[in-house]
């Protein structure tokens, strides 16, 4: 069974940043209002994520580590109405199969918590331990038992860069949560809860981007678009600064990037990409997120409608804003 989990891990866990992404999504799903990430060695030595979410009982801990065990899908029907970030029940089993994973967790009603350890897929029984309400996930020595994957890890600096990007996406998508990121015991980010999304964007990008945010807002009966586009003068040579979120999760979508380019047509020099931060929401029935295990890509049941909604919103905006 560990081999199967290792194979699944190959799909879901590419590098330390994939661990951070999966664990952060779990903490958000657990309803945490404060999440702290600490990494050493670019996450290859250690990744620790502490949250104040709902926690797990001693009975739930081994289940969380079993593959295809998810507490997030009560029925098959629910797969069509996915709202939480995780729903496959693969991440923890995968991470536990290729690392040394310790989970400490406590639910609200309990006076003490429980700890469980997995080492290369071998699970020890849970033991009582003292800990606050919530969950601490500690991942050490990622890929210690899969030498080929281990060899493909880049320098600590590069892996840290990928972690910062994963952290940024999730912290941007969830400004209702206080996020902290520490690198080698030094604080990198400390982002208190904020009502205004622009505060969170400014905390990451500051300066000229924060100064040139132009608010965007549009609603039709089902598709809502809200966020900011930036003045053409802060455009970039690639599309990395086009942050797009759909129902609370970061996505990349070629056709929506194309819509952005179209909206700026004539305002931007060739080869430049507008900077933008857009949150879209629509009923889950209009989306299929079940395309790839890392869930970065989505499929819309009516892609044309989403495309034109975004394009219309932006065009309308450029006509009414003096840039
Ligand atoms: P999924 O997120 O797809 O359900 P995971 O393997 O990521 O699968 O997690 C398995 C289960 O472990 C979750 O469904 C949830 O019940 C539990 N779990 C994981 N992380 C946390 C956490 N930080 N707090 C509370 N429960 C958690
Ligand atoms: Mg998950």
User: Does residue 23 sit in helix, strand or coil?
Assistant: helix
How far, in whole angstroms, is CA 161 from its chain's centroid?
15
Measured in degrees and rounded to the nearest 5, phi and psi for residue 316 equal: -55, -40
- Pick from 158, 191, 224: which residue ends a domain? 191
Q: How far is the CA of 184 from the centre of ligand 2 (A)?
A: 25
Residue range(s) defining the domain that contains residue 309: 207-320
Rounded Cα gap, residues 197 and 78, in angstroms: 30
In a domain, 29, yes or no: yes
30 Cα–ligand 2 center, Å: 10
CA of 287 to the centre of ligand 1 (A): 22
**C-beta of 97 in contact with ligand 1 (< 6 A):** no
Residues 113 and 11 in one domain: yes
Q: What is the pTM of this model?
A: 0.92
Cβ–Cβ < 8 Å for 228, 214: yes
Closest ligand by atom to 88 CA: 1
**Full DSSP string of 256-302:** HHHHHHHHTTTTS-TT-B--EEEEEE--GGGEE-TTSTT----EETT
Q: Please state, as a whole number, how many other Cβ atoms lie within 10 Å of the Cβ of residue 283.
A: 12
> Do 213 and 184 fall within a single domain?
no
Q: Which ipTM value was assigned to this complex?
A: 0.99
Domain count, the chain: 2
How does pLDDT run across 178-199, given as a tens digit for each residue?
999 999 999 999 999 999 999 9
User: Which of 164, 191, 218 represents a domain boundary (last residue)?
Assistant: 191
Inter-helix orientation angle 197-205/156-173, to 10°:
160
User: What confidence tens digit (pLDDT) does each residue in 25-37 have?
Assistant: 999 999 999 999 9
- 314 burial via Cβ count (<10 Å: 0-12, 13-18, 19+): buried
- Shared domain check, 87 and 144: yes
Q: Report CA-CA distances (Å) from 97 to 64, 94, 119, 141.
A: 13, 5, 7, 12
Position 69 pLDDT exceeds 70: no
Residue 202 located in a structural domain: no
């Amino acid at each position: 069974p560990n081999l199967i989990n290792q194979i699944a891990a190959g799909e879901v866990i590419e590098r330390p940043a994939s661990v951070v992404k999966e664990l952060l999504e779990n903490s958000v799903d657990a309803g945490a209002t404060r999440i702290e990430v600490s990494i050493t060695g670019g996450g290859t030595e250690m990744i620790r994520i502490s949250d104040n979410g709902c926690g797990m009982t001693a009975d739930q801990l081994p289940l969380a580590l079993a593959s295809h065990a998810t507490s997030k899908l009560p029925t098959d029907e629910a797969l069509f109405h996915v709202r939480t970030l995780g729903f496959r029940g693969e991440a923890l089993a995968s991470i536990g199969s290729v690392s040394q994973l310790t989970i400490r967790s406590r639910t609200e009603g309990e006076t003490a918590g429980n700890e469980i350890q997995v080492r290369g897929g071998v699970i020890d029984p849970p033991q009582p331990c003292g800990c606050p309400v919530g969950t601490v996930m500690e991942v050490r020595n990622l890929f210690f038992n899969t030498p080929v994957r281990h060899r493909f890890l880049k320098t600590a600096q590069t892996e840290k860069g990928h972690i910062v990007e994963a952290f940024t996406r999730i912290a941007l998508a969830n400004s209702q949560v206080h996020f902290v990121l520490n690198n080698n015991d030094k604080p990198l980010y400390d982002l208190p809860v904020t009502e205004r999304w622009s505060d969170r964007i400014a905390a990451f990008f500051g300066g000229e981007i924060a100064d040139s945010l132009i608010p965007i807002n549009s609603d039709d009966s089902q598709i809502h678009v809200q966020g900011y586009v930036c003045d053409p003068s802060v455009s970039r040579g690639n599309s990395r600064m086009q942050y797009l979120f759909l129902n609370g999760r970061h996505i990349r979508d070629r056709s929506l990037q194309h819509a952005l380019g179209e909206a700026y047509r004539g305002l931007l020099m060739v080869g430049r990409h507008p900077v933008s931060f857009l949150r879209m929401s629509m009923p889950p029935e209009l989306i299929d997120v079940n395309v790839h295990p890392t869930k970065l890509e989505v499929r819309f049941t009516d892609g044309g409608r989403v495309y034109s909604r975004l394009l219309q919103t932006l065009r309308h905006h450029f006509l009414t804003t003096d840039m």
